[in-house]
Structure 1
Amino acid sequence: MEARRPPEPTIATVLAWLQRAFDGTATWVTQLSWWKFFLFAALALIAASILQNELFSGADVVEVRPQRKRDKHEGNIIFDDGGISYSPPKKRSAPPEPPEPPEAPHAPEPAAPPEHGAKPAPATVPETPPALVVPGAADGEVRVALPPQIVEGLSSAIEAAVENAAEEKVKVYHGQASTWFKSFISLLVLALFATKALVGGKKRAEAETQTANAAAERESMQRQLSEARMQMMQAQVEPHFLFNTLASVEYLIETDPPRASAMQRSLIQYLRAVLPQMRDNAVVTNLGREADMVKAYLSLLKMRMEERLRVDMQIPEGLRSAAFPPMMLQSMVENAIKHGLECKPEGGSLRILAEVAHNKLRVIVSDDGVGFGVFPSDGTGLGLMTIRERLKLLHGDLGQLHIAANVPSGVIATIEVPYHVSK
């Protein structure tokens, strides 16, 4: 079975790779601050200069040139000890011409006899010329006869000239390569600078958008978690007074039916105020709704404690629409009753006050009971720590709970939250 060849990359794939590479480079460049970018550019130029000197310096360079294949139509020059030989290029094949018949050699004319009485001239030896061109008879070779010293010097001069020409050519190539390398590094730095200047704003905006979306998502999740925790806390309102109230109603039915009927009406009024609040699971309600629920709650307690409980509630009508955390006012009233007034034989007074100061809603619950720490607590854990945690989840550092001792006895608990009207 023939193995399947892997698909060749298409133009779209190559363009996608290039785009990803550009996006990655642009993202990296835009994440750098300007001083880091200029430091990187300076270091890149310095490194390029060092590399340029190492790669394209004027050190001894040996150029290995392939032996050029000589064309058969080119001539050939040969140096030897006897002189210089030059072979002309071979001509292309042509139909051979018939050779001409050789001419008959002329007989040398006899020399004239010397005259009578004259002395014959002495034989003279002709001087050898410094160079003699001897044409070849068969292949047209031309030979120049030279002394060996001249041939050696001429050959060395020609080799030196060829080597100098080769070195000059190599230097020219190195100079061009060095210039191209330097230009490439400079263009690369300029391209990175242009990318940071032009694309940096867009990349920063995208990064800021992603960061903002992530922060918003985290804040939304934190908000949902905080709301779930607050709803769980709201469901932990101590219901022990309900059992006490029902037990009181059952007792009064046998001993004082009119009073039992009044307590039953107060209990129904309280449940009507509390149950919708439990079903809504709202994280913020208004102060008027909380005050009505606390008022119904205190009516039940007053029927149980009778004259031992005196209530003074001062909540202005204009502040009933102010936003306030649900079930928090009742928790403060429960703590005041349970830890301050209920355990005091003669009872005491409970005062509830609402006011606005420095753009904050301030709700104060004070009592003149025995105060915290006098009697051991048997509560279910819904106390001051829970109130502080709920305030922090809702308002951060702007929501605070202050506890102070009252004079001459008792406790003053103050809740501060940002003032704004509930929707």
Structure 2
Amino acid sequence: MEQGRTHLSTVGSILAWLHRAFDAVATWVTQLSWWKFLLFASLSLIAATILQDELFSGPVEEIVVHDERNGRGRPETQIMIDDRGIHFNPGKQRAPGAPAAEAPAAEAPPELPEVPVAPVAPRPGAAGDVHIPLPPQIGEELSIAIEQAVEDAAEQKVTRYHKQASTWFRSFVLLLLIALFATKALVGGKKRAELQSREATEAAERESMHRQLSEAKMQMMQAQVEPHFLFNTLASVEHLIETDPPRASAMQRSLIQYLRAVLPQMRDNNVVTNLGREADMVRAYLNLLKMRMEERLTVSMEVPEYLRSAAFPPMMLQSLVENAIKHGLECKPEGGTLRIFADVVGERLRVIVSDNGVGFGMVPSTGTGTGLTNIRERLKMLFGERATLRIGPNEPTGVVATIEVPYQPAK
């Protein structure tokens, strides 16, 4: 019982190994293109031809052939040639256990000249033995001829074996190449489909991991947006409560409106939202700033209704507006105008934030310097090379910031 289980386990292991070997060979052949496979087959045939010549076309070694005809119990025939002539025993029965006399198996001897031979007579004292006396020279030539005939026969036999082995080797190589061709033709489609499916699964997993990493990184970037205006607004509300309560109440209402617009955005952590939601959040933010800056701030917002549903990354418009206020208009004594404009150019959504403030480098910056860098990195992660952020001077003064992203409805 135990031996049978061991035998079955061994057979199963061998079959599993053969299956793995076939699968590995099939996968390797499938991955080769047809021209590479034909090149491999041609090189294999050339190598097989060279190996065949080396193995089966060498010199023939001398082989001694013994002719034993006692396979079915028949008596052996003994022929002996010496300087006294030919000794022939047609049917001498070998004694049990006695060694068989070795005699070369003679092929048809070569034709010899006729020589007068004495009458054949049995040897005295040996029943059945025949002695044919020959001259010494003729006996020697006959013996040499018989040995040469035996050697020729052995050489022909070895040559025939070599030819058979050479044929078998060439047939094996051809059958192997035909099997590889059939495997590529029949199993190739299945293997390619499995390989493509595995590659697609791995690509989807990599894309999912990359997307999760990108989303986490973008959420971290969004959290870096400096809420300095909140602290400034709260400080302004506290000051107005003591000096101008009605105005403090209006600023408080504007702050509540802004928080209602911005808190869902921060809670959702969406990678992409819509332009209308971003515009509403910026409008609430600008209402707060107008109460602080009063007549020093003029706002022009031109976002068409049909573009409110266009997909747009969150907090980017807010960051551009904050930069324009903080670095361009708030530090200008007489203030200025902030303009927000959106349109579609070709298949791209273009959003422009411009101001006529002090311009580049006129006032030392006190910020962290991460706002514009975060915007560029988030655009690259979301859209690759299809999105751009351009910063340039405005005429006569100020800065123009332009974001372009692929135009598509928000999901």
Shorter-chain TM band: 0.7 to 0.9
CA distance in structure 2 between the partners assigned to 1:159 and 1:261 by the alignment: 133
Counterpart residue type for residue 32 of structure 1:
L
Q: Are the counterparts in 1 of residues 215 and 271 from structure 2 also a CA contact under 8 Å?
A: yes
CA distance in structure 2 between the partners assigned to 1:282 and 1:23 by the alignment: 46
Q: Does 1:384 align with 2:372?
A: yes
User: RMSD of the TM alignment (CA)?
Assistant: 2.3
Per-residue Cα deviation, 1:324-370 (whole angstroms, up to 9, x for no partner): 11111100100000010000000001111111111211111111101
Q: Which of 399, 403, 411 is the equivalent residue of 1:415?
A: 403
Q: Does 1:209 align with 2:161?
A: no
Q: Does 1:175 align with 2:186?
A: no
| Cα offset, 1:415, TM superposition | 0.9
CA distance in structure 1 between the partners assigned to 2:57 and 2:348 by the alignment: 78
The match for 1:365 is 353
Relative to structure 1, is the Cα distance of residues 415 and 58 closer, same or farther in structure 2, using a 3 angstrom cutoff? closer
CA distance in structure 1 between the partners assigned to 2:62 and 2:284 by the alignment: 106
Q: 3-state SS of the aligned residue for 1:10? A: helix
Per-residue Cα deviation, 1:65-124 (whole angstroms, up to 9, x for no partner): 57969778313222222222233444599xxxxxxxxxxxxxxxxxxxxxxxxxxxxxxx
The match for 1:116 is none
Counterpart residue type for residue 238 of structure 1:
E
Relative to structure 1, is the Cα distance of residues 254 and 66 closer, same or farther in structure 2, using a 3 angstrom cutoff? farther
Q: Are the counterparts in 2 of residues 84 and 145 from structure 1 also a CA contact under 8 Å?
A: yes
CA distance in structure 1 between the partners assigned to 2:169 and 2:79 by the alignment: 41
With the length of structure 1 as denominator, give the TM-score of the two structures. 0.85
Q: Which of 181, 186, 189 is the equivalent residue of 2:177?
A: 189
Could you tell me the percent identity over the aligned residues?
A: 69
The match for 1:85 is 87
Per-residue Cα deviation, 1:306-334 (whole angstroms, up to 9, x for no partner): 11011111111211111111111100100
Show the 5 A alignment for 1:338-349.
Answer: 338-349=326-337
After TM superposition, the structure 1 stretch with the greater mean CA deviation from structure 2, 300-309 or 77-86, is 77-86
CA distance in structure 1 between the partners assigned to 2:68 and 2:56 by the alignment: 26
Q: Which of 248, 254, 269 is the equivalent residue of 2:242?
A: 254
With the length of structure 2 as denominator, give the TM-score of the two structures. 0.87
CA distance in structure 2 between the partners assigned to 1:231 and 1:129 by the alignment: 121
Q: Are the counterparts in 2 of residues 238 and 382 from structure 1 also a CA contact under 8 Å?
A: no
The match for 1:55 is 55
The match for 2:111 is none
| Cα offset, 1:210, TM superposition | 2.0
Q: 3-state SS of the aligned residue for 2:168? A: helix
| Cα offset, 1:136, TM superposition | 4.3
Per-residue Cα deviation, 1:348-394 (whole angstroms, up to 9, x for no partner): 01111111111211111111101121111111333211111111111
Show the 5 A alignment for 1:51-200.
Answer: 51-57=51-57, 59-63=59-63, 73-91=75-93, 130-137=118-125, 139-200=127-188
Q: Are the counterparts in 1 of residues 328 and 398 from structure 2 also a CA contact under 8 Å?
A: yes
| Cα offset, 1:138, TM superposition | 5.0
Relative to structure 1, is the Cα distance of residues 381 and 217 closer, same or farther in structure 2, using a 3 angstrom cutoff? same
CA distance in structure 2 between the partners assigned to 1:75 and 1:67 by the alignment: 10
CA distance in structure 2 between the partners assigned to 1:204 and 1:70 by the alignment: 63
Q: Are the counterparts in 2 of residues 321 and 422 from structure 1 also a CA contact under 8 Å?
A: yes
Q: Which of 214, 222, 225 is the equivalent residue of 1:226?
A: 214
Counterpart residue type for residue 26 of structure 1:
A
| Cα offset, 1:148, TM superposition | 2.0
Q: Are the counterparts in 2 of residues 353 and 363 from structure 1 also a CA contact under 8 Å?
A: yes
After TM superposition, the structure 1 stretch with the greater mean CA deviation from structure 2, 268-277 or 75-84, is 75-84
| Cα offset, 1:151, TM superposition | 2.0
Q: Are the counterparts in 1 of residues 122 and 128 from structure 2 also a CA contact under 8 Å?
A: no
The match for 1:106 is none
Per-residue Cα deviation, 1:120-154 (whole angstroms, up to 9, x for no partner): xxxxxxxx962331254454322222222222222
Q: 3-state SS of the aligned residue for 2:264? A: helix
Q: Which has the larger radius of gyration?
A: 1
Q: Are the counterparts in 1 of residues 336 and 355 from structure 2 also a CA contact under 8 Å?
A: yes
Q: Are the counterparts in 1 of residues 117 and 132 from structure 2 also a CA contact under 8 Å?
A: no
The match for 1:332 is 320
Higher helix share goes to which structure? 2
Per-residue Cα deviation, 1:296-315 (whole angstroms, up to 9, x for no partner): 11111111101101111111
After TM superposition, the structure 1 stretch with the greater mean CA deviation from structure 2, 61-70 or 74-83, is 61-70
Q: Are the counterparts in 2 of residues 133 and 145 from structure 1 also a CA contact under 8 Å?
A: no
